[in-house]
Structures are given as structure tokens and as C-alpha cells.
Structure 1
Amino acid sequence: MKSGPMHRYLFHALRPLLCLLILLSGLAAPALAQLPNMSGNPPSEQEETVTDAFGRTTPRGTVQGYLAAMAQNDPIQAGRFLQVEPGSARAETLAEQLRTVLDRSGRLAPVSEINNTNEGASGDGLEGDLDQVGIISSPDGDVPLLVRRIQQDGHAVWVVADETLKALPKLANQSVATLIERYTPSSLKGYELLGIPAGDWAAVPVLAFLTFLIGWCLAWALTAFAINTWLRRAPAETRDEARRVRVPLAFLFSNGLFRFACLGLGVSVIARQWTFQLYDIIAILSLVWIVFIVTSAVARRLLDTMTRREKTSAISGTKLITRLINAVALFIGLFQILDMLGFDVGTGLAALGIGGLALALGAQKTIENLVGSVMLVVDQPIRVGDLCQFEGVFGTVEDIGIRSTRVRTLEHTVVTIPNGAFSSMQIENFTRKERFLFHHQFGVRYETTAEEIERVRQALKAYLKEHPAIQDDDPAVRFLNFGADSLTMEIFVYIETRSIPKFFDYQTELLMGVMNTVQGEGVEFAFPSQTVYLSRDSRAPANFLGGKPESTARENKPPSA
């Protein structure tokens, strides 16, 4: 199959989308690298799942548990997350001091960056039983917020390390009231909802609105600059796509601005942690949104170019790769969001290595259809826009998707076929024809003489040789056989066109020409006729034929013109 230039064009046309897919794969690698036991091997003794009533089995669980306890104004419960004797007065005091320090000068790491395994993070330069989950600023320098893994009640738990607790009294004395604390009306001080002070409830919505407004202005200015410079000569559709990026881009800008404003004004750590997590989710969705917009714009530009240059072979590949990129981006985004919300996605994915049978039973058809779609694009038995026939279905291919292919029939119904089954069918592609066969038979009356038949043959040959759609110096016009009611003649030539509508036009024109040529030679077309012979049976009664013993014959023929 001569497809080398076509495949090279497809590669060059899809190179931007392939680069974006590689970039997304690189972004997914760090997340996938953290999945535990992806090889499917049984867990070791050190990796055995342990349970803790307070969720302290991972550094992330300890941080979230401490914040949840302080949100309920329960310092006794919060003290269980510190490396001190649970229930002691010192534990309550340190829990309160830790909250004060975090509210005024502390910063916790984003939830997605805090390790969520029993063993903690590795390669961070700390001892094996230590993890850093935040930082506390002070006039004497930054103090790391550390958590340590210790043995308690017969199993390992993570608690705020003693190194950090020893510095808390001094850090609490050095801390000063934040701007929100200073300017909160005295009538609102002391009131909290879900552990968040009333001043923060008033400040956070205002900050969210102002930072989004600033982010919108930045996004509008950036896209306007791009439209007036880089995209000045681009089609109107491309400039419209650039304008669509403004909303998700504004969310991304506002994410950074909101964090900076909350830290600068002194929003409490509980309010910060929950709102930062919400903003992280919005940022991920915004990135996925931008990927959708960019891939849609690039794909539309490529499809327009391919259609204009009649490179239809690359259209299906472009659509498939665009959908794969969007699917990868959506998968990465959902994976990160579920991980932020505390779902153990890694363990679920790792179970696929162990539960191969479940994958084979549950996802077999999905994988089969995905592989089938790739084979349809690579092997290209059909392309979008091709007229094809398979298993009694005749129609035009409208779309080759990741799961199925849609075909529009002549009755304008849509037939959807799973790609796994479609790729294994015997498909007849009419659009790929280099030329069309004109093969017809017709009969002339038995009264036609041999000289008349030869004269008709030569006249038809001359007519076909002169026709512009027939590129044959010796068209095949034959006296085929003696039929039941006619002398059968046959025409076997090729019409030189790749267009199906033009073929039907040429076929109509040729049939009319054949009719005129045959009639012009004085030869008549035959139609079904029958001759019936009647005779008297010698064994029949004498009066069986009305008393007439002689044989009679009647020819059943239509009256002559």
C-alpha cells in the first residue's frame, strides 16, 4: 500500500499534539511513581496495613487529624497528634500554641504534597522516621514543622516531632497579631464557625472576589496581547479559542494571588488549609480546561488544513489523538483531585496488578475497542468520509472514536459499531476505488442476424472509445450467449473517475448512449417471450380438441410493431 507520504504528513501534522501528550505523560509520571506496589507483588511485612483510631498512620493523616480536632476546639484530641503524653496539660498547651503559631506565621504544605504512606517520604534529606509538613517563620529564622513516626499502642503512628514542640513556647511569644486579628471588630472576636474565626469568614470571600478580579484582568491582558501579536493573522476561530482561555487562566492567576493574600493578611491555618485545597482543585480543573481548549483549537486548525489539501487519511488520526490527549489530561486531573480528597487511588490502581483477572473480565471490551480504534487509524481500511459496506451495512463513515465508529446509512440512520468488532470485519471501501467498473448485459431479439450483431458491436466499441470517461483503446463488447429469450451481449469497461457521484452520472450517460447506438443500427432489444406448441395426444379421445385430429401450433408472441 502506498502510504509513506501520507503517514509522513500525518506525523508532521500531529507533531504539536504528540508533544503535548508527551508533556502530559511527564506530568503524570511523578504521580504514578508514587503508586505503591504497582508490580502486583504481595506486600512485605513492613508494608502491612495498620489502622489507628485517630488516622495517624501517615503524615497527611496526622496533619488533617490535628486540624480537624482544632476546628472542633478540642485541644485534648489535638494533643494526641503531638509527641507528648496524651491527655496531659502540656499536650493541651502545646496544641493551642501550635495553632497560634500556624495562624500567625506558619505555612503548611499543600495536602497533595504531604506524604500519604505509612513509611513517609524518602529522599528528603531527613531521617527515615521524620517528615517535614510545613514551616514556621520567626525573627530568628525559619523553623521546620516536623512529624515523626513512633511506636504507640503496638503500631507505628505519626505525630508532631519533639524538635518542633520544643520551639513552640518561644515562637508563640515572638508571634504578633495578624492584620485580620487587629482589624476584626471587637464584637466579632471570639466567635468561630467550624473552627474558623468570624473575621476570616468575612475576609476570605472578599479576598476570593478581589483576587479573581485581578486574575481576570491579567488573563484578559495576556490573551489580548497574544491575539494582537502572535495570533494577529490567525483565523477568527483561533482568536476565539484564545479568548476562551481567559476564564481558566483567571482561576490559575487567582490561585497564586489568593494564597499570597491569605498569608499576608493572616488568615487562620484552618481556613487556609480548606480554601487552599479548594483552590488546588479549581486549578487542576482549570488546567484540564485549558488542555481541552488548546487541543480543540490545534485539532480544528489541522483538520481545516487537511480538508483543504484533501489529506483525508490524517483526519481520523487527528481526532483520535485529540481525544486521547483529553482523556489523559482528564485522568491525571481526576487522579490528583481524588488524592487531595483523601481517596487512596494508588492502592486501587496497584490492585490492578494483583487482580489481573478483574481487569481481564471488566475491562476486556474497553481495551479491545481502544486497540481496535488504534488499528483502524494505523491500518486505515476506512477514513472519515469514506463510503463503505460491511455485513450488509452500506453508508458513509462519520466518526472514528475511541470506543466505536459511526456510519451514516443511505436511509440517514446512524449505525454504531464497537471498534474491536469493526476492525476484524471484512470492509469494502468504495471511496478508495481508482476507477469504477461498467459491466452490463442486454439482449436483442432472435430475429437479429449475425451481421447485425457484429455491426452493433463495432458501433458500441466506437462510441465507448470516443467517450472521455473511458480510457480504453479496445473496449470489451462481446456476443455472450444464446439466452432463453434473447441473444445476450455484454459490455465490460472501466469508468475513469474516483468520485462516486460522477460515476453514477457517467453510468447514466453511457446507458443512454448504448440504447441510442443499438437502436440506431436498426436492432431491437429483446424482452421475455414464450412460444407454446399444442398437439393432439394419440391416446386422447377424438373430440378432445373439438373433433379436429390435425396438429395445430400457436406462437405466443406479442404483436409486432
Structure 2
Amino acid sequence: MSELQAFWEEIELVWQRGVFGVETDRALLAIAVFLLFVILRGLFTAVVVAGLGRLTQRTETTIDDQMLEAARGPLRFVFLVAGLFFAARVAPLPPEVDEYVTRIVRSLIAFTIFWTIYRMAEPLSFLLDHVSNAMRGQEIGAALKKFAVRIFRVIVAVIGAAAILEEWDFDVAAVLGGLGLIGMAVAFGAQNLIANLFGGVVIFLDKIFVEGHWIRAGDVEGVVEKIGFRTTKIRRFDKSLVTLPNTKLSDDAVVNFSMMTNRRIYWVIGLEYRTTHEQLRQVVEGISAYVHNNDDFETDPNRVSTLIHADSFNNSSIDIMFYAFTKTTIWAEWMRVKEELLYEVKRIVEEAGTSFAFPSSSIYVEALPFGEPEVPIRIKDTRSSGGGGGEPDRSIEPSGDTQTVRPGARGPSGEDGE
């Protein structure tokens, strides 16, 4: 019995010693409390969050849906932080361990607060529209809102990191002061970064372009894929990706094709010089009537200029200038309109009885350097039917473009017919 009693005493000693100086029963209780909060988190998500989701779906605005989705993660994380806090209170820890646990809990609380603000930045970006309306009388652009949200999130992340570091006795002010001492050296190295950052701000404020626009900057042409703090990514039409610094795009000329109100078709239609006055007029009037009666073309003189006129006498053609604008700016649709126009112009020219000109040259000869050309001749042999053995009868007789040669006679060039 004494041995069994000694063994039981050892069990009691281990049970009382527990973990980190905490009795085992209290440690198990702390684990149970933490697991309880984990279960409560699941119930909260399934009941409260799901119920709020059904309510927000009934409203007309989508802002409440976005805010609920943004707060979902932090709300679930709060239960884990609370579970850790109450578990630490159920099982009193030694002072040195309790200090670290307290710092961890405070750090997690700070993280949750700044994480919530970080996620709420985008749903609450609609407030920028009200501020812009109050200051400038117009809403802020979607691209500028997106850029402002990025900057705000960076600021929140930096402040949140500083708050967490403060909990662990890091002297953030001293660190920032030290950075200020080397700020001069950093400024020289980061001047391009700063310039590109302000270039990005200029792009957004001036609304030069936004993501998805088709632009041309220098010899780079394509669709804007992403506007970053330092660079802008452009996807060319051959699917290659070009990255340009924001300063280049804010300082140089940028052609924004996506902001076209209409798309232009500019042709020079050349007709042959044998085209008569009536045929030329018929072609010009036919093309003009087609354009003005076609809903695909914009013909309002207050918006665009439509010019279809006989323009000039070119080297090999009489030129008609075609200058008109389509209503669509979409490339594929514009190509369809242009193709139908080409068919119609071809039909009008053919019905007028004329043709398109092509580069050609005509040579006019007033005199030849070696006199008159010889007339082509044909030699005709005629033998006597009398059967004599005399020479054949060869004569020169005009016969259209041919002649018959007689012995002793001379040809047109003065030489013997032989």
C-alpha cells in the first residue's frame, strides 16, 4: 500500500505542477474556455452574420453588403482574441509568462482594430464622392478612388505596425528619428521613386487614363492593365506586357483612344482620267447619300465634319476625298462599318460606268531618231503555170499590211527586195 500511495502522490505532484506553473485542472479549464469561444465564433457566423447578410441583400445599395463582407473576418477573429484573454484569466500564469501573454493579447487587439479599418477602406470610399462634390462639384473618378484607397491602406498598415511594435517596447519615435537623419541620403536614391509616385497622382487627378483604356505613349500602344505607385503596365496588342514609369506618362504626350467620341474614316478614292463629268458627280453624290442615310455614321455638323468631295487631279487619277466619322469607337464594329462602306463605294463606281485608277504612265512619241519605220512585208512566191524553167515571178503588190516583191524592185527602205 505504501508503494501505491507513493505513486499516487507522484501523480498529484505532476497534476499540481501542470504547465508553466499552472495546475493541470486549470490548464484544461483554460483550454475548454478557448474552445468554447471557438464554438461561439461558428455560431455567430452561422446565425448573426448570415442573418445580417440576408438583411443587406434586401436593400437597394451594395455598400452594406461590402461592409459586412469586410467586417466578417475581423469579427470572427475577435472571438479567438477573447478566448485567449479569458483563458489566460481562468488559469493564472506566473508573472513573467503573464506579461508575454498580455502583450500578445494587446497586439492581437491592435491588429484586429487596424485590420478592420484596412478592410473597411474600400467600402467606405464612397465618402470621397461626397467630399469631391462638396469641394469641386463633381464625383471623384473610380480610378482615383482606387488609388486613394491604396494610399490609405498603406498608411493604416504602417500605423498598425507601429502600434504593435509599441506593445513590445520598440521606440518607434527613435526609429523614425534615425530614418530622418539618413533622409537626405535616401532622398537622392529615391528621387525617381518619389517622382513616379507624384506622376501616378497626376495621372489620376488629371484623368489622363484609367485601367482598361486603350492608349499610345511614344511607340508603345495597348490597353492599360494596372496603374501602380511607381509604374503603369500596358498590355500591347501582341499580348506582350510593357512597364512604363509614371513620370514618362505624366510628362509626355499620351493619346487616349478610349476617349474618342467618334472614330474617323479617311480615304482618298482615285478614279480613272477617262471618267466623265457626269460620272464623277454621280460617284460623289452616291457616296455622300450613302453616308448621310446610314445610321452607322455621325453626320451632325455640330459634332463632326463630313467631307466627301472631288479633291484633286493626281498623277494617275482624279481623287475624291472621303472624310467621315462613325458613331461607334469599338474597333471590331468600326471595321464592319468600313467594310460595308468599301462594298458600297465599289458598287457606286461600277454603276457609274467608270473604274478605279491605279498608278500608270503614258509615253507619247512625236518623232523617231532613225526616220520612218519600215512597213512589215510578206514575200509571196508565184511560179509560171506554163511549166518553163524560168525564175519565179516575184512582185511587190500592196495588200493591206503586206507587199509582194518583184525582181529588181526596191522595198520601202530603198534596199533590194531580195
Q: TM-score, normalised by structure 2?
A: 0.70
Residue number in structure 2 paired with 1:455: 282
Residue number in structure 2 paired with 1:263: 89
Residue number in structure 2 paired with 1:485: 316
**Are 1:514 and 2:352 matched, yes or no?**
no
The 2-side partners of 1:450 and 1:434 are apart by 37
Contact 2:200 2:228 in 1 (8 A): yes
Give a deviation string over 1:298-344, Cα, whole Å, max 9, x none.
679x9xxxxxxxx9982212321232232222222222233334443
Q: Please report how far the alpha carbon of residue 446 of structure 1 lies from its aligned counterpart in structure 2 after TM superposition.
A: 1.7
Contact 2:282 2:352 in 1 (8 A): yes
Which residue of 461, 465, 471 maps to 2:299?
A: 471
Q: Secondary structure at the match of 2:229?
A: coil
Contact 1:536 1:551 in 2 (8 A): no
Matches within 5 A, 1:19-98: none
Residue number in structure 1 paired with 2:153: 326
Which deviates the most, 488-497 or 285-294?
285-294
The 1-side partners of 2:319 and 2:219 are apart by 31
Contact 1:436 1:497 in 2 (8 A): yes
Which residue of 235, 250, 265 maps to 1:408?
A: 235
Aligned sequence identity (%): 22
| Structure 1 gap ranges (5+) | 1-183, 303-310, 539-547, 553-561
Residue number in structure 2 paired with 1:350: 177
**Are 1:363 and 2:190 matched, yes or no?**
yes
The 1-side partners of 2:291 and 2:69 are apart by 59
Q: Please report how far the alpha carbon of residue 428 of structure 1 lies from its aligned counterpart in structure 2 after TM superposition.
A: 0.8
Q: Please report how far the alpha carbon of residue 349 of structure 1 lies from its aligned counterpart in structure 2 after TM superposition.
A: 1.7
Q: Secondary structure at the match of 2:341?
A: helix
The 2-side partners of 1:374 and 1:437 are apart by 32
Residue number in structure 1 paired with 2:53: 227
Matches within 5 A, 1:502-541: 502-532=333-363
Judged with a 3 Å threshold, the aligned counterparts in structure 2 of structure 1 residues 185 and 322 are, in CA distance, closer, same or farther, namely farther
Matches within 5 A, 1:49-448: 185-187=12-14, 189=16, 207-218=33-44, 221-233=47-59, 242=68, 245-296=71-122, 314-448=141-275
Q: Secondary structure at the match of 1:281?
A: helix
Judged with a 3 Å threshold, the aligned counterparts in structure 2 of structure 1 residues 197 and 526 are, in CA distance, closer, same or farther, namely same
Contact 2:41 2:79 in 1 (8 A): yes
**Between Structure 1 and Structure 2, how many residues are aligned?**
350
Instruction: Give, as a single letter, the amino acid of the residue that structure 2 aligns with 1:476.
Output: L
Contact 2:34 2:87 in 1 (8 A): no
The 2-side partners of 1:211 and 1:388 are apart by 54
Q: Secondary structure at the match of 2:210?
A: coil
Contact 1:465 1:472 in 2 (8 A): no
Q: Which has the higher contact order (CA 8 A, sep 6+)?
A: 1
Q: Please report how far the alpha carbon of residue 350 of structure 1 lies from its aligned counterpart in structure 2 after TM superposition.
A: 2.1
The 2-side partners of 1:458 and 1:408 are apart by 43
Instruction: Give, as a single letter, the amino acid of the residue that structure 2 aligns with 1:253.
Output: F
The 2-side partners of 1:320 and 1:551 are apart by 85
Contact 2:231 2:244 in 1 (8 A): yes
Contact 1:479 1:489 in 2 (8 A): yes
Contact 1:376 1:382 in 2 (8 A): yes
Q: Please report how far the alpha carbon of residue 224 of structure 1 lies from its aligned counterpart in structure 2 after TM superposition.
A: 3.3
Give a deviation string over 1:348-398, Cα, whole Å, max 9, x none.
222343333123123323322322222211110112332221112222223
Judged with a 3 Å threshold, the aligned counterparts in structure 2 of structure 1 residues 530 and 238 are, in CA distance, closer, same or farther, namely farther
Give a deviation string over 1:252-286, Cα, whole Å, max 9, x none.
23424533442354222222221222233333333
Q: Secondary structure at the match of 1:325?
A: helix
The 2-side partners of 1:452 and 1:533 are apart by 27
Contact 1:398 1:406 in 2 (8 A): yes
Judged with a 3 Å threshold, the aligned counterparts in structure 2 of structure 1 residues 461 and 247 are, in CA distance, closer, same or farther, namely closer
Q: Secondary structure at the match of 1:186?
A: helix
The 2-side partners of 1:269 and 1:472 are apart by 84
Residue number in structure 1 paired with 2:385: none
Q: Please report how far the alpha carbon of residue 206 of structure 1 lies from its aligned counterpart in structure 2 after TM superposition.
A: 5.2
Work out which of the two has the higher radius of gyration on C-alpha atoms and give 1 or 2: 2
Judged with a 3 Å threshold, the aligned counterparts in structure 2 of structure 1 residues 348 and 324 are, in CA distance, closer, same or farther, namely same
RMSD of aligned alpha carbons:
3.8
Judged with a 3 Å threshold, the aligned counterparts in structure 2 of structure 1 residues 269 and 377 are, in CA distance, closer, same or farther, namely same
Q: Please report how far the alpha carbon of residue 524 of structure 1 lies from its aligned counterpart in structure 2 after TM superposition.
A: 0.6
The 2-side partners of 1:470 and 1:221 are apart by 57
Instruction: Give, as a single letter, the amino acid of the residue that structure 1 aligns with 2:224.
Output: V
